[in-house]
Amino acid sequence: MGTQTQDLRSVATKPQIVNIQVVTGSGNYPSSGFQHYNSHELLSTVLHQAQQHLHLQNTAGWVAKTEDDRVLNPSLTIAENNIEDRSQIFWAPTESGGGSFDASGNQ
């Protein structure tokens, strides 16, 4: 049984490759196709690489979401965020809720 436990442990820690593309209003990273990441990589690392590649200046307050609009946590790993292979991550500033206003500016 010790060998089986070791096998399960090695499967759990074995790196799995996940292909990701980050989509922003300033472009995509990579510009076409996907970048390969270890599933144990922090999402913040992926976003930082996109920021550097796309020369984004201020991304404080930006939100990363999946294709189905699920908000991701940059401080978690790709695996912990349940990001699937060949995913696009949509990364943009937080949308401010403008609400409905009439012509005089009243809600």
pLDDT tens profile 51-92: 999 999 999 999 999 999 999 999 999 999 999 999 999 999
CATH number at residue 87: 3.10.20.90
Residue 3 located in a structural domain: no
Contacts of 38 (CB under 8 A, 6+ apart): 15, 16, 17, 18, 78
DSSP letter, residue 84: P
> Do residues 66 and 39 lie in contact, with contact meaning Cβ atoms separated by under 8 Å?
no
Examine residue 32 and state whether it is found in any structural domain, yes or no.
yes
Strands 17-24 and 27-29, bridge-based pairing: antiparallel
Q: In which band, very low, low, confident or very high, does the pLDDT at 13 lie, cut at 50, 70 and 90?
A: low
**In-domain check, residue 21:** yes
- Domain boundaries, position 65: 16-93
Q: What does the alpha-carbon distance between residue 77 and residue 67 come to, in Å, rounded to a whole number? A: 18
Determine, yes or no, domain membership for 9. no
* Counted domains in the chain: 1
Tell me, yes or no, whether 101 lies in a domain. Answer: no
